[in-house]
Amino acid sequence: MKLDRTQQEMLDGKYGEARRFALEKLVDFGKAVDAEEMVPLSFVLNVCPIEMKDRSHPDLSTFDMGHSPLYDKFIEIKDARVADESKTICLNDPYLVQIDKYEEEGYPWNFSWGDGSYKLPKDIYDGYVRGHDALKEHGWIMSQSCNSHLTTRTPRYGEFCASSESSVAAYLNTFVGARSNRESTVNTVYAGYTGYLPKYGMLLDENRLAKVIVELTDEVKEKMTDPADWAALGAVIAEKGGNRIPAVVNMPPLLSPTAGKCLSGCVSAGMNDPMLHIIGSALPESRTLEAAFGGKVPANVEKHIVTLDDVREYYRKLDSAKSDKVDIVVFGCPHLTYHEIRQIAGLIKGRKVSPNVHMWVQTDTPSYHMARDNGEAKLIEDAGGKIYHSTCMGMNPVRTWSHDLNIATNSFKYVKLGGGFGQGWHFGAVPDLIDAAVTGRFVSTRW
């Protein structure tokens, strides 16, 4: 694999042992995927490790995503630092717990239901804090958000990125035109310390081309209003595309950040390649059908139509609970935008969450503090809900929770992540979820 002068010097150890070791690992990976060169990165997003002295700890496999031992080498190196901030911004995905609220009850990391309860083990929490503090010393920005690309650093068109957060990768490819694979939590460790990644997968022009056309009817175009609508639409597009990058025709010309986040976040959970071509967008590679296909559109290209009935059907398809009972209502996978928090606060204002229901509002740190400053957080908490940041309940082992629980959400992504562990699931629009939190019963009125 061809290396430029800086990369070769890094491999030779000129820039320290941490970067030498990390680049060596990336060179090995690059050879394995037949990459011809490295590319410089403007954005790296990975997950904070659990730093444990004893890697044989019996609980570690329950919580770790396989990446934590990779950090041990860097934590041991005294001068380990991530790539220069002026070139590569290195951030972290949400994980496990909001550190300063570990002991508080009623949150996903410490809550009870019926005759059962769950709390993140103290030694795992301590290991997470050690990992968090070590990465902070190394220069990682502890954003702990799946919206880091919206609130901390937005890459530019054509820049190369490495994101282990699937919804971020999909958003960057689809709406920004930056280039990212849905990267493994292995590569993003090494990418953070070097600022480089082998050029493979979605970083290559030929792997970003559309393979199928998905066209929305005018009725779909006009009636997508609730965040859950965009989530369901993303699921439909992913299914129609059949694990091929789709060129999406007749999308509304202006999408809010919430719509874009929900749409791309859901696609990333339903497709191999985290990208849509929204035809007519300002991005050169998606401006026209011809651009999306890299030239002339094939005469025999497969084409699918998305109707409102398709979206309605996905609302039903994602609802697996055997009764209308609700134990948990969760918003924010990917993390809520501030606009979504405002919607939730406005609908819960003056009402009370049922004592038998947990209502969880997950968001990123900037949006959380905006909600604190502007009163939305108080409205949610006065009603009996919980609002928090820096974590996602998906990082905790839902598979160990009771199968009698019914969870209601508007996140297709979270249903995909947690839907196979035995609990019942309700999928619904925000007003219906608020009603479910108040009454303890879910009734879908959206369609």
Same domain, yes or no: 157 and 193: yes
Select from 314, 332, 355 the last residue of a domain: 314
Residues 242 and 163 in one domain: no
> Domains in the chain: how many in total?
3
Question: Rounded CA gap, 289 and 280, in Å?
Answer: 8
Identify whether residues 102 and 133 lie together within a single domain.
yes
CA distance 235 to 246: 12
pLDDT category of residue 257 using cuts at 50, 70 and 90: confident
Residues 234 and 310 in one domain: yes
> How many residues comprise the chain?
447
Evaluate whether residue 76 is within a structural domain: yes
Please indicate, yes or no, whether residues 136 and 261 belong to a single structural domain of this protein: no
> How many C-alpha atoms does 275 have within 13 Å on its Cβ side?
29
Does residue 221 sit in the same domain as residue 145?
Answer: no
Whether residues 147 and 79 fall in one domain: yes
Going from the C-alpha of 140 to that of each of 144, 152, 192, 210, the distances in angstroms are 10, 12, 8, 35
pLDDT at residue 83, rounded to an integer:
92
Which residue shows structure tokens 């090995």?
28
In a domain, 446, yes or no: no
Angle between helices 68-76 and 122-137 (to 10 degrees): 50
Q: What is the pLDDT of residue 59?
A: 86
- Pair 427, 409: CB distance under 8 Å: yes
DSSP assignment letter at 79 = T
**447 domain residue, yes or no:** no
Q: Is the pLDDT of residue 178 over 80?
A: yes
The last residue of one of the domains, among 205, 221, 254, is: 205
**DSSP three-state, residue 41:** strand
The percent of residues above 70 in pLDDT, for the chain, comes to: 100
Does the residue 109 lie in any domain?
Answer: yes
pLDDT for the residue 397: 86
Asked if residues 161 and 50 have their Cβ atoms less than 8 Å apart, the reply is no
pLDDT tens profile 93-128: 999 999 999 999 999 999 999 989 999 999 999 999
Which pair of tokens denotes residue 99? 């550190």
Query: pLDDT at residue 267 above 90?
Result: no
- Structural domain including 243 reads 211-314
Q: Please report which confidence band the pLDDT of residue 240 belongs to, taking 50, 70 and 90 as the band edges.
A: very high
Based on the fold, state whether residues 21 and 123 are members of the same structural domain.
yes
Q: Which of 314, 329, 361 is the last residue of a domain?
A: 314
The rounded distance, in Å, linking the Cα atoms of 151 and 171 is 13
Closest to 319 measured CA to CA, from 234, 405, 440, 410: 410
Handedness of CA 39, 40, 44, 48 (dihedral sign): positive
pLDDT in tens, 324-366: 999 999 999 999 999 999 999 999 999 999 999 999 999 999 9
Average pLDDT over residues 282-299: 96
Element (H, E) at 76: helix 68-76
pLDDT at 85: 76
Q: How far is CA 56 from CA 31, 69, 123, 438, in A?
A: 31, 11, 13, 44
Comparing CA positions, the residue from 416, 412, 447, 411 lying closest to residue 224 is 447
More confident residue, 135 or 84: 135
Q: Residue 35: what residue type? A: A
Q: Which of 139-153, 198-212, 394-408, 414-428 has the highest mean pLDDT?
A: 198-212
365-385 pLDDT tens trace: 999 999 999 999 999 999 999
Output the CA torsion sign for 265, 267, 272, 277.
negative
Q: Roughly what angle, to the nearest 10 degrees, separates helices 257-270 and 338-348?
A: 100
Quick check: 246 and 218 in contact, CB under 8 A?
no
Mean pLDDT of 295-315: 96
- Please give the average per-residue pLDDT across 429-445, as a whole number: 97
When pLDDT is averaged across residues 281-303 and rounded to a whole number, the result is: 96
Residues 315, 318, 320, 321, CA torsion sign: negative
Query: Residue 267, class by beta-carbon neighbours within 10 Å (0-12 exposed, 13-18 middle, 19+ buried)?
Result: buried
User: b vs e for 376-395, b when ≥16 Cβ sit within 10 Å of the residue's Cβ?
Assistant: bbebbbbbbbbbbbbbbbbb
Look over the chain and give the mean of its residue pLDDT values, rounded to a whole number: 94
0.85 exceeded by pTM = yes
Ramachandran area for residue 332 (φ above 0: left; ψ -120 to 50: alpha; else beta): left
Q: Which residue has the higher pLDDT, 327 or 272?
A: 327
Tokens of 443: 């009734």
Task: Dump strand ranges (E) for 131-249.
Answer: 160-163, 196-198, 212-216, 246-249
- Identify whether the C-beta of residue 36 lies closer than 8 Å to the C-beta of residue 199: yes
Q: For the beta carbon of residue 225, count every other beta carbon within 10 angstroms.
A: 11
Answer yes or no: is 444 within a domain: no
Residue 49, preceding peptide bond in cis (omega within 30° of 0): no
Task: Using the predicted structure, report yes or no on whether residue 386 has a pLDDT greater than 80.
Answer: yes
Q: Are residues 123 and 268 in the same domain?
A: no
pLDDT category of residue 395 using cuts at 50, 70 and 90: confident
Q: Which amino acid is at 32?
A: A
- Domain assignment present for residue 68? The answer is yes
pLDDT per residue as tens digits for the range 21-65: 999 999 999 999 999 999 999 999 999 999 998 888 888 888 998
- Where are the strands (E) in 121-211, listed by range? 160-163, 196-198
Indicate which CATH number applies to the domain containing 166: 3.30.499
Specify if 36 maps to a domain: yes
DSSP classification of residue 192: H
Q: Indicate if 397 and 343 belong to the same structural domain.
A: yes
Same domain as 232, residue 143 = no
Residue 340 lies in a domain: yes
* Average pLDDT of span 117-144: 96
CATH number of the domain bearing residue 368: 3.30.499.10
User: What is the structure's pLDDT at 247?
Assistant: 97
20 and 115 assigned to the same domain:
yes
